[in-house]
Chain A
Amino acid sequence: MLQRLIRNLTDYWLPLARRLFSRKVVLASAILLALVVAVATVFPWVSDADPNAISISERLNAPSAAHWAGTDELGRDVMLRIVHGARYSLLIGGLTAAGAVLFGTLLGMFAGFFRRLDAPLMRVVDAMMSFPDILLGIALVSILGASLWNVMLALVIVYTPRVARVVRASTLVLRELLFVDAARALGVRTPLILLRHILPNLVSPILVQVTFIFAYAILAEAGLSFLGVGVPPDIPTWGTMIAGSLESADRAFWTILYPGLAIVLTALSLQMLGDGVRDLLDPKLKKAS
């Protein structure tokens, strides 16, 4: 068992990883992401510094050696809050992506594989996708109530249809391929076909979707929090940080600038990585004329 794992690693995954990271941008993005995640997880353990430490005397200080990104309207260190906020923003992004992918894959796979389920399921998906993402998010949060978990749930519901569509499209193609017929001819039962034959081939489009939805979710949460219908303001996500500092924007733009930059960098790295994965797993080098 272990031997097989190691062999898999060296024969399959290692060359794949090498190809993935052959593009420098993708490598850089992956490293940046790893750094962000690492800092976000490790720092709060290691450091005692309190991101909520209010210091009225130090309100709205410009960036300096003591405060790398300045201080906000309550004298809190912006950089410190960004680092702590990373945990929440990343959590929201990651869990939303995981949830959307989970439900979206189930939905899409069933819709793609079982002809009779296709039309009804896809109509529902169409109905949900007729709304702009953010409006749907607002409506859902108003139903569920504004909390960290509810925002995640709302976003999962918002992004599931998107994943479902992609997965359905791939499933439709896979369903027609000969190896499915071959499996059927051998008497393999449907659930097993789905698990062993269809699902593994869906991994590539799913992986790509994970990275993009991760990025969208971070952006969406920021938007919702900005509007005041997202995460409650006492939880320091990057979005609530910007929303909270709106009034000081004129005098102290760094309170808005740096959290925003954090969002941009993270979302960008995620998308670069997703792009790299997509290129890797879809190597149909078209005849470029």
Chain B
Amino acid sequence: MRFLMTRLGGALVVLALVAVLVFALTRLASGDPVALLLGDQATAEDIAAARVQYGLDKPLPTQFVLWIGELLQGNLGQSIFLQRPVAQALLERAEPTLFLALFAVGIAALIGIPCGMAAAIWRGSPGDQALSGVAMLGASVPSFWLGLILIQLFAVKLGWFPASGYGNPESPLAERLTHLLLPALVLGLLNSALIIRFTRASMLDILGEDYVRTARAKGLAEGTVMVKHVLRNALVPIITVLGLTLALMIGGTVVTETVFNLPGVGNLVVRAVLRRDYPVIQGTLLVIAAIYVFINLAIDFLYTLVDPRIRLEGQ
């Protein structure tokens, strides 16, 4: 319990720092969103008036405090350009990004964990070297390049998948989700590289432990040893990595979203940055970082459930 409380405290400190960081990152950029919004024809008075309307005339520290105040009340602010609350804009964009991230991590795990296990079990063999090489290849490929290639291949030439876009908002969820298959494949393949390497390393760590030898000395079949003794211990860090990868994909998929023209969170952020839509930038970056911090915390919590050494610390 104490372990969790300290972790929670740490997380809150990080969040506070994140808020400061986000605000600083957003405001330090030169450029005036209001001027951009009003266009070339705006007069100085129009711009000044608009600045007051958006609360941009106050000194920066004051704006920061006001923003924090709003946050604590659950208000992420109002977008300058989109004429709606930031929270709403986020929620509208959440669906494609969330599902994309989930699919991608799923694919990465489905490919990565078995391959990593195989590489570890057959360590040193040509198979292992090939798998490790493939993993390194995956980490060397730019996602947009692979996306473009796959679009050319599967969408344009073969027509199996829709090339871009997210389809009609009216159409059923399943139809919309088919638009995510190709981008999820791209991200899944590339991230599986990381999972292969990590699984292999984690398995090798465990395979070198004494208790694996004890398990064999008991006469257990190799399969039982692998699953019940090795994998069980090796999975925990692997799931950690999967969880963190998922967290980083919220917003980290911006490049893929751009290639496939998906109306996701990443897209939202990039557009906001280019236009200096302060509330959106601040709100979205904060939410993204907060998700990462909380997933981290959740994983720590999960550890206490899984690893008896931590669970029974109090006793």
Contact = CB atoms under 8 A, between A and B. Distances in A.
Consensus secondary structure, chain A interface: helix
A203 B281 CA distance: 39
A250 B157 CA distance: 10
Contact of B152 (A133, A250, A272): A250
Which of A126, A256, A271, A286 has the most CB atoms of chain B within a 10 A radius of its CB?
A126
Contacts of B10: 123, 126
Interface of B: 10, 13-14, 17-18, 21, 25-26, 28-30, 123, 129, 132-133, 136-137, 139-145, 148-149, 152, 156, 204-205, 207-208, 212-213, 216, 248-252, 254-255, 258, 266, 269-270, 273-274, 276, 281, 285, 288-290, 292-293
A286 B255 contact: no
Which of B142, B204, B252 has the most CB atoms of chain A within a 10 A radius of its CB?
B142
A263 B136 contact: no
A124 B152 CA distance: 42
22 contacts: A126-B10, A127-B21, A127-B289, A139-B25, A139-B29, A139-B281, A142-B274, A143-B28, A143-B30, A222-B145, A249-B152, A256-B149, A263-B140, A263-B141, A263-B142, A264-B137, A264-B145, A265-B140, A268-B136, A271-B140, A275-B136, A286-B207
Interface in A230-266: 242, 249-250, 253, 256-257, 260, 263-265
B151 to A, nearest CB: 8
Contact of B14 (A123, A133, A223, A249): A123
A289 B152 contact: no
Contact of B249 (A132, A136, A286): A132
Interface of A: 25, 123-124, 126-128, 130-136, 138-140, 142-143, 145, 215, 219, 222-223, 226-227, 229, 242, 249-250, 253, 256-257, 260, 263-265, 267-268, 271-272, 275, 286-289
A288 B273 contact: no
A223 B17 contact: no
Given A250-B152, A253-B152, A271-B139, A138 B288 contact: no
B208 A288 contact: yes
